[in-house]
């Protein structure tokens, strides 16, 4: 009788692990689908739909990336209170500074501050962005952005384009490494390697 109970118990535990694994796999698929769709919508400037997709991805899995992208979409929708809300939620996550969305959150934090007229705070955040990005990933824009910081004057439309290009390049570099261990972040490639993960 004892052996039967142990067998039933082991079978139940196996079934529970299997079901949990299936549920986790389904949630990950839902997350990835919404993130993919959101980025597609964002690229064609369908920012409201992109934001909705990113928030659905966040419902599926509470990660920083969908919050960072929801912040981005909110910025382009000129919904600065929502952008601030997603920024605060992303910053509250203990993994925020280690994650690949760090530059998206930090960069858009600076942009939001500039749009709100908080120049001094915006310049301080922008300096942190330039310093951290310059030590992490190559860019021809960091020198230009650093010059804006030193000068204390920001050309916002130009800054938006430069920062978005840099952030996108960084995220693509991380994605390339995570999908095939190649590219800039491959420590064995001799390209530069390392950096914030």
User: What pLDDT, on a 0 to 100 scale, did the predictor assign at position 28?
Assistant: 85
**Cβ distance 55 to 68 under 8 Å?**
no
Domains in the chain: ranges and CATH: 2-180 (1.25.40.10)
Binned at pLDDT 50, 70 and 90, residue 14 comes out as very low
* pLDDT tens per residue, range 82-107: 999 999 999 998 888 887 899 999 99
Global confidence as pTM: 0.78
Of 160, 163, 182, 164, nearest to 173 by C-alpha is: 182
Say what angle helices 64-76 and 47-60 make with each other, to 10 degrees. 160
Binned at pLDDT 50, 70 and 90, residue 135 comes out as confident
Cβ neighbours of 76 (radius 10 Å): 18
Average pLDDT for the chain: 83
Of 108, 105, 104, nearest to 116 by C-alpha is: 108
Statement: residue 69 has pLDDT above 50:
yes
In terms of residues, how long is the chain?
Answer: 197
Residues 6 or more apart in contact with residue 22 via CB below 8 angstroms: none
Residues 6 or more apart in contact with residue 185 via CB below 8 angstroms: 173, 174, 176, 177, 193, 194, 195, 197
Binned at pLDDT 50, 70 and 90, residue 68 comes out as very high
């Amino acid at each position: 009788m004892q052996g039967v109970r142990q067998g039933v118990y082991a079978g139940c535990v196996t079934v529970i692990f299997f079901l949990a694994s299936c549920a986790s796999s389904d949630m990950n698929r839902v997350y990835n689908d919404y993130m993919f769709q959101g980025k597609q919508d964002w690229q064609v400037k369908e920012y409201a739909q992109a934001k909705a997709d990113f928030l659905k991805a966040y419902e599926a899995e509470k990660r920083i990336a969908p919050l960072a992208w929801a912040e981005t979409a909110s910025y382009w929708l000129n919904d600065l209170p929502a952008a601030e809300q997603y920024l605060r939620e992303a910053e509250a996550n203990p993994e925020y500074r280690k994650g690949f969305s760090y530059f998206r959150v930090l960069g858009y934090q600076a942009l939001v501050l500039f749009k709100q007229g908080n120049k001094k705070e915006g310049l301080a955040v922008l300096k942190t962005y330039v310093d951290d990005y310059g030590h992490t990933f190559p860019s021809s824009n960091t020198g230009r952005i650093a010059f804006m910081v030193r000068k204390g004057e920001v050309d916002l439309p130009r800054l938006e384009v430069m920062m978005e290009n840099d952030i996108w390049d960084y995220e693509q570099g991380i994605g390339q490494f995570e999908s095939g261990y190649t590219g800039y972040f491959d420590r064995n490639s001799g390209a530069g390697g390392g950096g914030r993960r």
